[in-house]
């Protein structure tokens, strides 16, 4: 009779697996709650203590750490010496180990958990079982995820049994499982301090731990990076994978490195809005962003904000794609679109553009204040180092303006319509590369001056784009708009350029040594100007 050892914290699918193994002639050996669950389902179970001759002891700390268990797992079937040792010592061979570990990660994330309770969730016997079985993968199947239960039963039914390749893949998963577990423990304990005889752990998840361990699992190799001579790959980070770490690609050509950067940029903009919102991205900058009563209206507004630049762009939506939106998208050339869903009726319409990538990824909630630190981090490599920061969010614009923290510094107050437009502009502006000045109305961008070396140049680029690059002296292509600047105006010349373009109100962080000069210029032009006290650079 073949023997299986089962000891799982996550009991999803356990009974069905036990039934399947019993039906295939396996003796089930188990511990604690796993044994009870199998017995309650009417399955014959041998307790590990009956195998070892020792009871579980020390509050369950010692259960499976015994030669009669590990000898049965580690014995190599093609080594006569191993088999002779097993016979001499009465060691029964083990053919299958099914283990997942104590819920350390879940316990560590529990607010206010006591340090002794946390320590008790460090599994010892479980990782030992997993590593032993994975080391001897040619002879012992090791399973650490309920997702693999069905595949294991199917493999056991093969005429020649599970293949070596199948066994090795399970072993790789097993070592990754224990590796992630140890990484989680090391990361958590890195920020535990000792005060006298007490161990003190910071409340909640530490944003920037003393040692940052990043677990990344490859999704796929990419054809190349930003340029054909650069190798590239796509990884998912965090557990469970979500957002662009767990996308559903419905159609289209293979996603490229730059596609993914642009999809991320597109999604970040629309996440700023609760109402239907759309963005159209080129080279990580928005050529257009807009809101609307429907997602279709928002998309058309965003596209038409700069229809020339939108050609071949990347689209981000914060609502599922419906029929009207799908028709609007396929009416021009779009490289890729990301949305939280796609209606069935819309799929057929989008399919007419076979090469267009359609990506379903629900990124809503990622990075929210109070969420898991992994999603609130932005990480970037520099030569020889890794930089980590909290993801920038325009929280000061989440409520209708005027709101707290805003200061009107000019003689003229913004009108109600200007306030609405300023709030929209401020949210979008934070997602444009610095230096930037953008012009909008209350629901759409009108011109984007992105990534310039001076703020005056950013204004001039935006104004020239709005005028179709035929800006003439005295022309005011953005009359009646509002402007947003990601950082303060260091001189009045930038503010003068904003007024010359036609804006009637402007929002900026403030904080320049020449603020008084800039405020005076705004008053001269009759502009209303609001200081937020918060900068939003994007490098």
Kindly list the catalytic residues. Answer: 135, 283
In whole angstroms, what is the distance from residue 303 CA to residue 286 CA? 10
**Cβ atoms within 10 Å, residue 98:** 28
Answer whether 5's CB lies under 8 Å from 97's CB: yes
**Cβ atoms within 10 Å, residue 525:** 18
Pairing of strands 445-449, 46-47: unpaired
3-state secondary structure of 333: coil
Element (H, E) at 515: helix 515-525
In whole angstroms, what is the distance from residue 142 CA to residue 124 CA? 17
In whole angstroms, what is the distance from residue 277 CA to residue 298 CA? 5
Q: Using alpha carbons only, how large is the chain's radius of gyration in Å?
A: 30
* Residue keyed to tokens 């979500």: 242
**Cβ atoms within 10 Å, residue 373:** 19
**Cβ atoms within 10 Å, residue 345:** 11
Checking 28-34 for CB contacts under 8 A at 24+ apart, the result is 28/4, 29/3, 29/4, 29/5, 29/94, 30/5, 30/6, 31/7, 31/56, 31/63, 31/64, 32/7, 32/56, 32/60, 32/63, 34/6, 34/7, 34/8
3-state secondary structure of 531: strand
Structure tokens at 241: 């994978």
Bridge partners, 338 (sequence order): 316, 359
- Residue 267 has φ and ψ, to the nearest 5°, of -70, -40
Structure tokens at 353: 């553009």
Distances in Å between the Cα of 364 and the Cα atoms of 67, 244, 393 are 50, 11, 13
Residue 240 preceded by cis peptide, ω within 30:
yes
* Residue keyed to tokens 């599922």: 320
Pairing of strands 528-531, 407-408: antiparallel
In whole angstroms, what is the distance from residue 68 CA to residue 91 CA? 5
Answer whether 109's CB lies under 8 Å from 206's CB: no
**Cβ atoms within 10 Å, residue 302:** 32
């Amino acid at each position: 009779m073949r023997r299986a050892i089962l000891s799982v914290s996550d009991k999803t699918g356990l009974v069905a697996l036990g039934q399947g193994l019993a039906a295939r002639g396996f003796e089930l050996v188990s511990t604690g709650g796993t044994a009870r669950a199998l017995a309650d389902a009417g399955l014959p179970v041998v307790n590990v203590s009956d195998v070892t001759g020792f009871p579980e002891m020390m509050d369950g700390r010692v259960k499976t750490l015994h030669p009669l268990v590990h000898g049965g797992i580690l014995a190599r079937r093609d080594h006569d010496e191993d088999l002779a040792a097993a016979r001499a010592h009465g060691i029964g061979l083990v053919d299958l180990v099914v283990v997942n570990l104590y819920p350390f990660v879940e316990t560590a994330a529990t607010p206010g958990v006591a340090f002794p309770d946390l320590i008790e969730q460090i599994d010892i016997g479980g990782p030992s079982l997993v590593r032993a079985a994975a080391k001897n993968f040619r002879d012992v199947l090791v399973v650490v995820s309920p997702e693999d239960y069905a595949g294991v039963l199917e493999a056991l039914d093969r005429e020649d049994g599970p293949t070596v390749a199948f066994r090795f893949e399970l072993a790789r998963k097993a070592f990754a499982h224990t590796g992630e577990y140890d990484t989680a423990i090391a990361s958590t304990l890195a920020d535990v301090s000792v005060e006298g005889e007490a161990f003190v752990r910071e409340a909640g998840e530490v944003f920037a731990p003393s040692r940052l361990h990043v677990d990344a699992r490859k999704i796929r190799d990419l054809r190349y990076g930003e340029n054909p001579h650069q190798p590239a790959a796509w990884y998912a980070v965090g557990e469970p994978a979500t957002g662009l770490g767990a996308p559903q690609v419905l159609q289209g050509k293979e996603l490229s490195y730059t596609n993914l950067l642009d999809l991320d940029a597109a999604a970040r903009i629309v996440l700023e809005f609760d109402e239907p919102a759309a963005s159209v991205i080129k080279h990580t900058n928005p050529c257009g962003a807009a809101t609307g009563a429907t997602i279709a209206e928002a998309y058309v507004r965003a596209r038409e904000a700069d229809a020339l630049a939108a050609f071949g762009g990347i689209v981000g939506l914060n609502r599922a794609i419906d029929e009207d939106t799908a028709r609007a998208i396929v009416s021009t050339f779009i490289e890729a679109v990301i949305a939280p869903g796609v209606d069935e009726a819309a799929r057929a319409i989008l399919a007419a553009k076979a090469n267009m990538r359609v990506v379903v990824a629900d990124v809503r909630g990622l990075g929210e204040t109070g969420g898991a630190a992994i999603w609130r981090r932005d990480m970037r490599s520099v030569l020889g180092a890794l930089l980590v920061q909290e993801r920038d969010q325009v929280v000061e614009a989440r409520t209708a303006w005027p709101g707290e923290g805003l200061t009107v510094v000019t003689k003229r107050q913004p009108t109600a319509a200007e306030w609405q437009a300023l709030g929209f502009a401020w949210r979008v502006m934070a997602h444009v590369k610095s230096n930037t000045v953008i012009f909008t109305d209350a629901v759409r961008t009108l011109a984007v001056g992105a990534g310039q070396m001076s703020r005056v140049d950013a204004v001039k680029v935006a104004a020239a784009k709005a005028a179709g690059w035929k800006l003439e002296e005295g022309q005011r292509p953005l009359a009646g708009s509002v402007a947003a600047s990601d950082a303060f105006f260091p001189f009045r010349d930038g503010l003068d350029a904003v007024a010359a373009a036609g804006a009637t109100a402007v929002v900026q962080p403030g904080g320049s040594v020449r603020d008084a000069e800039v405020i005076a210029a705004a008053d001269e032009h009759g502009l209303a100007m609001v200081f937020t006290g918060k900068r939003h650079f994007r490098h």
